[in-house]
Amino acid sequence: MDILDGLEKWGWDRKGCMDRFLGDKDLFIECFHEALGTDDVALLAACFKNGDGQEAFLKAHEMKGVSANLGLVPFTKAISCLVEDLRPGKDITAGKASFVKVLEVYKDLLAAVSIH
C-alpha cells in the first residue's frame, strides 16, 4: 500500500484534493510531507501549556487551512472544532478537549502513512 492508499483509507478526500492539485500526485506528496515536517502540532501544544489562546487560535486556524487544502478531512474536522473553541473572546481552556481530539486524529494520520 502506498501513501495515497493509506491516506484514502484514513479518510483523505482523494478526488477533491487531486482536483486542487490538478492531478499532480508528486506535488501533493511534496506538500503533504512539507506540512508534516513542520512543528505546528508542537507549537500548538506549547500555546496550551503557556495559556496563549490568541496564538493557539492563529496556529490552529493556519493548520485548518493547510489540512483543508490537502484534503485531510478527519484532521480538518477536528482542527475546525478547535478553531471555534479558540475564537477571540473565549478562554483557552474551552479548547482543551478539542485539542486532545486533534492529537488523536493526528496520531491516526501518522499511523495511516506509517510515520511514527
Query: Does residue 1 have a pLDDT over 60?
Result: no
Rg from Cα positions in the chain: 14
Domains and CATH numbers, the chain: 3-112 (1.20.120)
d(CA 60, CA 106): 13
Question: What are the pLDDT digits (tens) for 40-90?
Answer: 999 999 999 999 999 999 999 999 999 999 999 999 999 999 999 999 988
Arithmetic mean of pLDDT over the chain = 93
Write down the pTM of the prediction: 0.92
Look at the alpha carbons of 56, 57, 58, 60 in this order and tell me if their dihedral is positive or negative: positive
d(CA 30, CA 53): 31
Query: Does residue 27 have a pLDDT over 50?
Result: yes
